[in-house]
Chains A and B, each alone.
Chain A
Amino acid sequence: MDLTLSPHELAFQSEVRAFIRDNLPADIKRKVEDGLRLVKDDMVRWQKLLGVRGWMAPHWPEKYGGTGWSPVERYLFEEELALGGCPRVAPFGINMVGPVIIEFGSEAHKRRFLPRILSSDDWWCQGYSEPEAGSDLAALKTRAETDGDDYLVNGVKTWTTFAHYADWIFCLVRTGSKAKKQEGISFLLIDMRADGIVIRPIRTFDGGDEINEVSFTDVRVPKDNLIGREGQGWTIAKFLLGYERTGIAGVARSKKQMQRLRTIAAREMCGGRPLIEDPKFRDKVAAVEIELMALEYTNLRIVSAENAGQAPGPESSLLKFRGTEIQQAITELLLEAVGYYALPYAPDALADGWNESPIGPEYAAPLAPHYFNWRKASIYAGTNEIQKNIIAKMILEM
C-alpha cells in the first residue's frame, strides 16, 4: 500500500499538466472555471487538441487509438483535466458508442466511425430513454421494421443531450416482438440528417436548453448500421453500463468545485467576518470535504484493484450515486454561500461576451442555475435509485 505517486507517475502527471498549460485555450478555461455555458465549438476545439496529441480515447485498445495507459494513469489523466479547467470530453462518442463499435461492430463499422470519433468530426448523441421508458428502459417502443435492405424507424426518444449538435445518434430500437421484453431490442446507428427526424428542444427549469426530444417518422436506415445482431441490443446496453467508469465519481471535478467554494466563502462576509470562518458553515464544508475524501479513496481502491488485473464491476454504481450526491451537496453550499446574490437571474451573464457589469459579485450569477441544473445528476445515467437496485442485485444478491 503506497498512497504516493511513483516517479514514473509523477512524470506522467507533469507531462499531462504541461500539455494542458500549453494547449488549453484561455477563453475555454475561463468559461469552465467560472461556470459559464460552453457551446459546441468550445468543446470541439478542445477535443481536437486532445485528438491531435493522441489522448482522446485513453481507454480504447491501442490498435484503435488508445494510449495503453494503466488504470492509474488514466485516473491521473482525468484528474489533471478536471483540475486544469478543461471541459469534460463529450462522452457519447468516446465512452459510449466507440467502445460498443470496438466490441460488437464489423471491420467496416470500425473504419467508418472510429477515426471520426477520435478526431471529433462526428458528434454523437444517445437514443435510449423514451416518454414511456425511463428507468424501465426495456419498455422502449421505438420500432425498426425491415423494408428491403433498410429499416424504417418510428418512435420518440427523449432527454437527448446535445441532439441539436449531433451528426449521429445511437439508438436502442425494437426489431422483434419477443415474450421477454429485453429480447427484441437492437442497437442501431442513425444519421441525424436523415429525413423524418425532428428535434424539439426541451427547456429545463434552470434556463438551460441542452436536452431534446427526437422523433422518428418513417426514417430509412440502412441495415448496415445495425451493430451486433438483431436482438443483441440489451446485451450491448449492459456492456456499456459496465464500461470505463473510473471517472464516474467525478472526484477531481468536485475537488475543483470545493476550491471554488472556499474562495467564494472567503470573500463573502457573515457577521462581519468571512463566511468561511463561521463555525457552522465551516463545519458543513469540512463534512462534505471528508465525504469527498472517502469517495476519492474508494475510487482509488477500485482503480488499484483494476491495476492489479481485477475487472471493474458493479461497484461503479456506488461511485455514481455517492459522486452525484456529493456534487449536489457542493452546488447547494455554493448557492448558500452567496446569500441574496443567488437571486438575480441574468441568463446572458452565463454566456460568453456579456459586456455589462455583473449584478453582485462576479462569481454569483451561475450559482443558482448550476444548483438547479445539477439536480439532473442523480437522475441521468441510471437514477441513483436504479444504481442501488443494481448493487442490491449484483453485489448483495438480494
Chain B
Amino acid sequence: MDFTLNDEQRLLQESAERYLAKEYPFAVRRRLLATDLGFNRETWKAFADLGWLGIGIPEEFGGIGGSGVETAVLMEAFGAVLVGEPYLATCVLGVGVVRLASSPVQKKVLLPKVATGDLLLAFAFAEPGSRYELSRVATRARKNGSGFVLDGRKAVVFDAAAADTFIVAARTAGGVADSDGITLFLVEADAKGLTRRDYPTVDGRRASEVTLKGVAVDADAIVGAVDSGLPVIEWVIDHAIAAVTAEAVGIMSALNRQTLEYLKTRRQFGRPLANFQVLQHRMVDMFAACELSKSMAYMAAVRAGDRDADSRAKAVSAAKVQIGKAGRFVGQQAVQLHGGMGMTDELPVGHYFKRLTMIDTLFGDVDFHLRRFAGG
C-alpha cells in the first residue's frame, strides 16, 4: 500500500506546474476566451513537445504509456490555471475509446498523430434527451452494404469545432435505452451530412450540437465490436470522470490559495479578514473539502483501472459525489469570502467557480452518482 506519487510522477507534476505558471498566466486565458476555438494551436503543439499528449497512448503508438495517475497529475495542474486546450476531448475521451476498443490499424493511423498534436478527436456520446444515461442512444446506424448510414443528433460535444475526427455512438440494434445494440463509429469532421452548431460554454470552453443526416461510413470506421459499444463508453466515461475530478482538485487548490491570500491582505474593521474566527473556520472547511477531494481524485485515478466494472464504477462515482459537493462548497465560499470583488469578471475567482460548477454537471452530477454508488 503506497498512496504517494513516484519519482517520475512528481517530476511530471513539478515540470507541469512550473511550465504552466510561466506560460499560462490568467491573461492568456482571457485572450483565449475571445477566440473561435477557445484555445491556441501553438500551445497544443508545445504540450505535444512536452510529451503530455501521449500520456495515455501506448509507447508502440508514439506515446508514453502512462497510467491514470499521470493523467490526474496533469489534469490537476491544468485545473490550477484553467487550461482551455481540448485535452479532455482528445486525450482522455478520444484516446480512451481508441486505446480500449480500436483495431491495431485504427490505432496506428490515429494515435501517433494525436501524440504529435496533429489530430484532434471529439467523442459524441450524449444526446438531447439522454441526460446522464449512457445507454440512451437514439441515433441510428443502418446497414448499408458493408458500411453503415448514421442519422441522429448529438448533444454538447466538447471541442467539436476543432476536431478532425469524431467518435460517434449510434444504435445498430434494440430499443432506444437498451444496453446492447450500441456501436461506435469513426466519422470524419468533413463527412457529408455532418453539421455542427458551435457555441461557447459558460465556463469558457467550446462545444457543439452535432447533427448527422445520412452520414455514410465504411466498415473500417467501426470501433470495436458491433452492438457492444456500451461497456467501452462506460469505461471511457469513468476514466474521464477520474480526470475531471483531478482537474477540480487543481481548481479548488487554486481557489483556496487565492482566497486565503485575499483574507490575509484585505483589511476591514482595522484588521485583516484572516483574523476573524468565522472566516478562519470557513477557510478550514474549504481546506478540508479540497484535501478530502484530492484523496478521492487519486483513489479514482487508480481504481478507474480496476478490471471489475462494478468496483470501478463504485470508486469513480464516490469520487464524483465528493468532488461535486466539495466543488460547490469551495466555489461558492471563495466568491463569498472575496465579497464584492468575488463577483467581478476581472478576478479569476468567478472563472474557477464556473468551471467547477460545470464539472459537477459533466458525466453525471452528485445525485446521479450517489444513486449509481448506492446501486439504484
Contact = CB atoms under 8 A, between A and B. Distances in A.
Interface of A: 1-6, 9, 72, 279, 282-283, 285-287, 289-291, 293-295, 297-298, 300-301, 303-305, 307-308, 315, 318, 321-322, 385, 388-389, 391-392, 395-396, 398
A282 B281 contact: no
Contact of B291 (A279, A282, A318): A318
Interface of B: 1-6, 9, 69, 260, 263-264, 274-275, 277, 280-281, 283-285, 287-288, 291-296, 298-299, 301-303, 318, 321-322, 370-371, 373-374, 376
A297 B274 CA distance: 30
Given A293-B318, A322-B292, A283 B374 contact: yes
Nearest to A303: B3
Nearest to A299: B295
A367 B58 CA distance: 54
Nearest to A2: B2
B3 A389 contact: no
A6 B287 contact: no
Given A392-B284, A396-B283, A1 B291 contact: no
Contact of B284 (A283, A293, A391): A391
Contact of B1 (A285, A300, A305): A300
Contacts of A308: 2, 4
Nearest to B320: A290
26 contacts: A1-B6, A1-B69, A1-B301, A3-B1, A3-B302, A3-B303, A6-B1, A283-B371, A287-B370, A290-B322, A290-B370, A291-B292, A293-B296, A294-B293, A297-B295, A298-B294, A300-B295, A385-B281, A391-B288, A396-B260, A396-B284, A398-B263, A398-B264, A398-B274, A398-B275, A398-B283
A14 to B, nearest CB: 15
Contacts of A307: 2
Contacts of B291: 298, 315, 318
Nearest to A395: B287
B2 A293 contact: no
B370 A283 contact: yes
A302 to B, nearest CB: 9
Q: Is the interface of A mostly helix, strand, loop or mixed?
A: helix
A4 B1 contact: yes
A297 B291 CA distance: 10
B91 to A, nearest CB: 20
Contacts of B1: 2-6, 9, 72, 300, 304
Contact of A396 (B3, B5, B287, B322): B287
Given A9-B1, A294-B292, A1 B284 contact: no
A293 B288 contact: no
A307 B2 CA distance: 8
Contacts, number: 116
Nearest to A298: B295
A282 B376 contact: yes
Residue among B2, B298, B370 with most chain A CB within 10 A: B2
Contacts of A293: 296, 299, 318, 322
Nearest to B280: A392
A297 B299 contact: yes
Nearest to A286: B374
Nearest to B367: A283
Contacts of A392: 277, 280-281, 283-284
Contacts of A283: 370-371, 374
Contacts of A396: 260, 280, 283-284, 287
A72 B296 CA distance: 19
Nearest to A276: B374
B71 to A, nearest CB: 12
Nearest to B288: A318
Return the 9 tightest CB-CB contacts between A and B, nearest first: A297-B295, A286-B374, A392-B280, A304-B3, A294-B292, A298-B295, A398-B274, A388-B284, A290-B318
A282 B301 CA distance: 26
Interface centre among B5, B284, B292 (most CB of A within 10 A): B284
A391 B287 CA distance: 9
B292 A295 contact: yes
Contacts of B263: 398
Contacts of A303: 3
A6 B318 CA distance: 25
A3 B296 CA distance: 12
Contact of B5 (A1, A72, A279, A395): A1
A318 B290 CA distance: 12
Contact of A3 (B275, B284, B288, B299): B299
A170 B231 CA distance: 61
B2 A1 contact: yes
A68 to B, nearest CB: 18
A318 B286 CA distance: 11
Contacts of A391: 284, 287-288
A3 B321 CA distance: 20
